[in-house]
Structure 1
Amino acid sequence: MIGGITFTFAAIFLGAALLASVALYTRQPIIIAYIALGAILGPYGSGLIDDIEIVVDAGHVGIIFLLFLLGLDMQPRALLSSLKQSSLVAVVSSAVFAGSGFGIAWAFGFSLIDCTIIGAALMFSSTIIGIKLLPTTVLHHRHLGEVLVALLLFQDLLAIIILVLIQSSVGGETNAWSLVKPLLALPVLGFFCWGLVKTVLLPLITRFDRYHEYIFLLSIGWCLGIAELAIVMGLSAEIGAFMAGVAIATSPISQYIAVSLKPLRDFFLVIFFFSVGAQFDLATLPEVALAATTLAVVMLGLKPLVYHALLRGVSESHGLAWNLGFRLGQCSEFALLIGFVAIGSGLLSGEAAVLIQATTILTLLASSYIVVLNFPTPIAISERLRRD
């Protein structure tokens, strides 16, 4: 890697500023510029940045901060109510998408295990696209935001169970406890966070709230510390960060913390989208181009329809059901993680891994266009649709 970490970040942000300017002048979604830059500068493009491990890790931090900030504005009672309402929608929709992915992969001649993992990887929607493209006022203060977050959190739990199955199947140690553990760990983590906030965090904040630098450091330490604890407990860092935010959501200081951390979140999110593009193996793409295109088109068309039908079935309005369906009409960054873990475990072929990667990136790109051009977002091209 030329010049180390300084060169890497300089190339990312100088390149991102340049391509973002082009995107804005040509009225394109700015997220596309970050992904395109990753493809251009990454190891499968020009190779200017040939070691992207640190970039991928840094990008993951952006998702953690995103979920932490989301939790800061999510009241626990509203969250529990939305989770109860959304559980059936999440389970049924995931089964439909997994079956569709399996069937299409099977039709293109992939093996049984490849088809199973492909179906499992493609059944989720992107947390980062869903939340990033939803206006803050809608996300935190309207029913649409509550339902979207509940669905994404439920999917995160399903994704963790799938990752546990993949990792444990290699050693032949799959058992009921390994699957139940994440479901039991979630309420335990929630009560632990609540207790620590009441007995330690809030007293410290109350005593030293005039020292802004201290509050900033305490917030980051709390977020990342609980994220790591969640991993130890068998959950994901994203769920841990979200729980850390929810635990202090009822405190008046939560809004100050949210405002303070937004620039840090955006810094790491640029890196995340860059890492998505940098992991795209363009050389292998022709081998799976037809299958990836077919899967992407099916998922982009099927997900809004399925979400609309299921949400209407649980008494949501027609407009909300379509809005939410299109906002969740892409594959998830969890698909990339599932593919990575599966191929590392020797369960997934290289061709199938590229198929998952290509399908995910195609749906992320297309879905970003669909949402930005048709629904209110903070980065809308049209002034009429721009909402922060």
Structure 2
Amino acid sequence: MEAPIGQILQDFAVIMIIASVMTLIFYKLKQPVVIGFIVAGIIIGPYSPPFSLIHNLDVLNLFAEMGVILLLFTVGMEFPIQKLKEVGRKAIVIASSEAFGTLVIGFIVAQSLGLGFYDSLFIALAISVTSTVIIMRVLGELKMMKDESATLILGTTIIEDIIIISLLAIFQSAGASGEFSIYEIIVSVGITIGFIAGVLVIGSKIIPKLMDVVARTNQHDVLIVAAVGVAFALAFISFQLGISVAAGAFFAGVLVAESRSHSVTSVLANPVKDIFAALFFVSVGALMDFSLIPQFIVPALILIAVSIGAKFMTVYISSRIQKLNNLTSARTALGCSSSGGEIALVVAKGGIDVGAATPIILPMIGTMTIITTFIAPYIIKYGWRFTEKFSKVRNKDEGQQNQPSKTDDSSNKPP
């Protein structure tokens, strides 16, 4: 009994020390720390020569699952029901067209590249994701948060997260059964919708009040334990229903966000989330077999281009259809298409966990996430500058075309 405990403690120590060193390096390089976590995992993982620094992969997987639950729980806490209502019809239309459009295009391309049905399905879902955290951080650093398109991007990514997590639950349910018949789809959709409706209708009348009762004790330790308990309880219920634990954790966060004490709970939950989110990303890096790079690097680069192109096209067209001006539409499209995100890794691992997808999709999605995270700031920064110059030139040309010529003026004068 002493050896396993010793190994677990050693593994945990190695994970946290290597992760802290790598994130410090990436912070100094002014790069997203999430990439530092992934690189730390690659360094300590079983696929990195000369040897693995981790003894127990089962424990690593357990840490990853807990990381998913707490990560999605804190993401959900940013989206109370009222905020979701305020997002507006425009963001809903844009997010739906982006998510489903990119999913269909990505699936077709993945199939044409020779990938299996479920590999194609989960990869297509993963490349449909846009990282709310990364995009908002980039916009903040570039002082672009007050732009109209920034608000639209935020609303779009919020709705998109809900769509992607719901689709993940459906795909996992169908994938676990090994069938993807119309009947399975209807059952999966019904269970998922029923779960979400039950959580939002029934849960919203119970959980917020319960959290407020706990908050009145003024005991922060009791409050955080209750909040984490809600997260794991709904994650367990969703797991028992055959739905992704990520969906249960996300909507647990939405319910806690409805309580009057949500701001305090959010502050208390952040340190816990940071630790287990780090464990999740490190575990993702550790489980990536980069010896497979020669097999997937070309398809990965093709799918990155497809993801950016499909997102830009669907967002731009749906924005213009809703009568948004050219500048706002282009900037919204650039923001939504620039980066994949952490939920893409959750999707990839979710497909593998139920045995539907093959392990190759994890390093493929991981590589794509790293690349798009690196290029996102440059796409937004230089893309927004270009669209502003292009818009000014276009408006100037349109203004000149609308001005009546001297010949026309003279011809219109009465004799």
* TM bucket normalised to smaller: 0.7 to 0.9
Are the structure 2 counterparts of residues 248 and 39 from structure 1 closer, same or farther at C-alpha, using a change threshold of 3 Å? Answer: closer
Task: Determine which of 162, 179, 200 is the counterpart of 1:190.
Answer: 200
Which has the higher Rg, Structure 1 or Structure 2? Answer: 2
| Cα displacement string for residues 106-148 of structure 1 (whole angstroms, at most 9, x for unaligned residues) | 44444xxx1464144323358694335534997xx95543331
1:301 positional shift: 4.2
Question: 2:215 and 2:226 mapped to 1: Cα distance?
Answer: 9
Letter in 2 for 1:7: Q
1:315 positional shift: 4.9
Please give the residue correspondences for 1:337-376 in structure 2 after superposition, counting only pairs within 5 Å.
337-341=349-353, 344-345=355-356, 353-354=359-360, 356-372=361-377
Q: Report the counterpart of residue 131 of structure 1 in structure 2.
A: 133
Contact 1:300 1:329 in 2 (8 A): no
Structure 2 length-normalised TM: 0.75
Contact 2:170 2:243 in 1 (8 A): no
Letter in 1 for 2:316: H
Question: 1:341 and 1:67 mapped to 2: Cα distance?
Answer: 17
Are the structure 2 counterparts of residues 29 and 286 from structure 1 closer, same or farther at C-alpha, using a change threshold of 3 Å? Answer: same
1:35 positional shift: 0.9
- Of the structure 1 ranges 70-79 and 276-285, higher mean CA displacement relative to structure 2 is found in 70-79
2:332 is the alignment partner of 1:320 = yes
Contact 1:121 1:339 in 2 (8 A): no
1:157 positional shift: 1.0
Question: 1:306 and 1:330 mapped to 2: Cα distance?
Answer: 22
Q: Report the counterpart of residue 248 of structure 2 in structure 1.
A: 240
SS at match of 2:46: coil
Are the structure 2 counterparts of residues 260 and 44 from structure 1 closer, same or farther at C-alpha, using a change threshold of 3 Å? Answer: same
Please give the residue correspondences for 1:200-215 in structure 2 after superposition, counting only pairs within 5 Å.
200-206=210-216, 208=217, 210-215=218-223
1:360 positional shift: 0.8
2:159 is the alignment partner of 1:156 = no
SS at match of 2:291: coil
Question: 1:26 and 1:104 mapped to 2: Cα distance?
Answer: 35
2:192 is the alignment partner of 1:166 = no
Contact 1:62 1:272 in 2 (8 A): yes
Q: Report the counterpart of residue 276 of structure 1 in structure 2.
A: 284
2:57 is the alignment partner of 1:48 = no
| Cα displacement string for residues 299-326 of structure 1 (whole angstroms, at most 9, x for unaligned residues) | 2444344333334434553333422332
Q: Percent identity among equivalent residues?
A: 20
1:166 positional shift: 1.5
Contact 2:211 2:223 in 1 (8 A): no
Gap runs ≥5 in structure 1 = 377-388
Contact 2:307 2:337 in 1 (8 A): no
Contact 2:91 2:152 in 1 (8 A): no
Are the structure 2 counterparts of residues 62 and 175 from structure 1 closer, same or farther at C-alpha, using a change threshold of 3 Å? Answer: closer
SS at match of 1:43: coil
Are the structure 2 counterparts of residues 341 and 269 from structure 1 closer, same or farther at C-alpha, using a change threshold of 3 Å? Answer: closer
Are the structure 2 counterparts of residues 252 and 82 from structure 1 closer, same or farther at C-alpha, using a change threshold of 3 Å? Answer: same
Question: 1:34 and 1:203 mapped to 2: Cα distance?
Answer: 37
Question: 1:171 and 1:302 mapped to 2: Cα distance?
Answer: 25
Q: Report the counterpart of residue 16 of structure 2 in structure 1.
A: 13
Letter in 2 for 1:33: G
Contact 1:100 1:119 in 2 (8 A): no
Question: 2:88 and 2:52 mapped to 1: Cα distance?
Answer: 44
Question: 1:51 and 1:37 mapped to 2: Cα distance?
Answer: 16
| Cα displacement string for residues 160-203 of structure 1 (whole angstroms, at most 9, x for unaligned residues) | 11222212235988363333221122111222222223554323
1:245 positional shift: 2.7
Question: 1:198 and 1:2 mapped to 2: Cα distance?
Answer: 38
SS at match of 2:125: coil
SS at match of 1:273: helix
SS at match of 2:184: coil
Task: Determine which of 235, 249, 255 is the counterpart of 1:227.
Answer: 235
- The alignment of Structure 1 onto Structure 2 pairs a total of residues equal to 363
Gap runs ≥5 in structure 2 = 382-415
Are the structure 2 counterparts of residues 246 and 295 from structure 1 closer, same or farther at C-alpha, using a change threshold of 3 Å? Answer: closer
Question: 1:375 and 1:26 mapped to 2: Cα distance?
Answer: 19
Contact 2:256 2:262 in 1 (8 A): yes
SS at match of 1:28: coil
CA RMSD, 1 decimal: 3.4
| Cα displacement string for residues 284-308 of structure 1 (whole angstroms, at most 9, x for unaligned residues) | 3323332233223332444344333
1:150 positional shift: 1.1
Letter in 1 for 2:10: F
Letter in 2 for 1:189: V
Task: Determine which of 63, 67, 73 is the counterpart of 1:58.
Answer: 63
1:101 positional shift: 3.3
Q: Report the counterpart of residue 31 of structure 1 in structure 2.
A: 34
Task: Determine which of 301, 306, 312 is the counterpart of 1:293.
Answer: 301
Q: Report the counterpart of residue 381 of structure 1 in structure 2.
A: none
Letter in 1 for 2:26: A
Contact 1:42 1:278 in 2 (8 A): yes
1:230 positional shift: 2.9
- Of the structure 1 ranges 305-314 and 7-16, higher mean CA displacement relative to structure 2 is found in 305-314
Q: Report the counterpart of residue 81 of structure 2 in structure 1.
A: 76
